């Protein structure tokens, strides 16, 4: 069965600094990988996804993520953090061939300090 | 606005009761997913329907059931409610089942069991 791990419950970054939110995954086959963001009292919003091809994926709001097959990781990155990036971030995985489940990690709370 | 509508937004009920949560997917989306979000468990996958049929099942309790109707809206029924069922319940939709399509989430139904 597929699984996702987000090893950090919280990440603190100063405004203007680069940020990284970590994600590792486990699937039997090839993965589809996703990042979502959740603002307070809102539903999750899609940021970006990896299907195949280029290992660096660009998404909404200046975010990007790097797929690393050997390390089974899909870390979310942004070159320069904004205070408005403060939110809860979820990594998710679907096994391309096995079934339709999309499994989410527990989430990482990102605090951008002014 | 994701295009996914969930009702009710808030629900307060007592232990032992039964409630029904409703979800209308985005126009054209055939797949509906249900997730439970609680503080200690993160985002847990419950169940997925595709064009009226159950497609994948996660950690859904036997007290919970769901269905997707011919007009593609879905309902999640929660019965014999316990205090621990208090959570935010999300519905999400996507175009198809086994695809790389991202999920579009509703704003959630917050259930409080007293």
Residue ranges of chain B with per-residue pLDDT less than 70: 97-100
**pLDDT recorded at residue B102:** 85
**pLDDT recorded at residue B5:** 97
Mean pLDDT for chain B overall: 92
Query: Are residues B32 and B68 in contact, defined by beta-carbon separation less than 8 angstroms?
Result: yes
**pLDDT recorded at residue B98:** 58
In this complex, do B42 and A106 lie within 8 Å of one another by their Cβ atoms? yes
Q: What are the tokens at B42? A: 């993160």
Query: Are residues B38 and B18 in contact, defined by beta-carbon separation less than 8 angstroms?
Result: no
Q: How many CB pairs under 8 A join A and B?
A: 60
**pLDDT recorded at residue A58:** 95
Q: d(Cα A67, Cα A69) in Å, to the nearest integer? A: 6
Q: For residue B79, give how far its alpha carbon lies from the nearest alpha carbon of chain A (Å).
A: 24
Nearest CA in chain A to B6: A43
| ω into B34 cis (within 30 of 0) | no
Q: Are strands B10-13 and B109-113 parallel, antiparallel or unpaired?
A: parallel
Mean pLDDT of A57-86: 96
**pLDDT recorded at residue A2:** 83
**pLDDT recorded at residue A35:** 97
Query: Are residues B76 and B21 in contact, defined by beta-carbon separation less than 8 angstroms?
Result: yes
User: In degrees, to the nearest 5, what angle opens at C-alpha B46 toward C-alphas B102 and A48?
Assistant: 20
DSSP per position, B45-73: EEEEEETTEEEEE-S--TTEEEEE-TTS-
Mutation pick from A44, A74, A91 vs chain B, by most beta carbons of B within 10 Å, is A44
**pLDDT recorded at residue B101:** 76
Q: d(Cα B21, Cα A40) in Å, to the nearest integer? A: 21
In the predicted structure, residue A65 carries a pLDDT above the cut 70: yes
Q: How confident is the model over A5-63, as pLDDT tens digits?
A: 999 999 999 999 999 999 999 988 888 999 999 998 889 999 999 988 889 999 999 99
Q: Choose the closest CB to B102 out of A49, A99, A104.
A: A49
In this complex, do B48 and A45 lie within 8 Å of one another by their Cβ atoms? no
């Amino acid at each position: 069965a597929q699984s996702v791990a987000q090893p950090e419950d919280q990440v603190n970054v100063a405004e203007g600094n680069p940020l990284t939110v970590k994600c590792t995954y486990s699937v039997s086959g090839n993965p589809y990988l996703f990042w979502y963001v959740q603002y307070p009292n809102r539903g999750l919003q899609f940021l970006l996804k990896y299907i195949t091809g280029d290992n660096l994926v660009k998404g909404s709001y200046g975010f990007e993520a790097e797929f690393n097959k050997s390390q089974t990781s899909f870390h979310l990155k942004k070159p320069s953090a904004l205070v408005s990036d403060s939110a809860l971030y979820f990594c998710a995985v679907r096994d391309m061939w096995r079934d339709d489940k999309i499994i989410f990690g527990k989430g990482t709370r990102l605090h951008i300090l002014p | 606005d994701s295009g996914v509508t969930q009702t009710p937004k808030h629900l307060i009920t007592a232990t032992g009761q039964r409630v029904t949560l409703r979800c209308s997917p985005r126009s054209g989306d055939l797949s509906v997913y249900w997730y439970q979000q609680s503080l200690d468990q993160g985002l847990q996958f419950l169940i997925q329907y595709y064009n009226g049929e159950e497609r994948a099942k996660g950690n859904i309790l036997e007290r919970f059931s769901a269905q997707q109707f011919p007009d593609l809206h879905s309902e999640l029924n929660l019965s014999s409610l316990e205090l621990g069922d208090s959570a935010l319940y999300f519905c999400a939709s996507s175009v198809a089942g086994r695809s790389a399509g991202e999920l579009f989430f509703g704003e959630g139904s917050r259930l409080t069991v007293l």
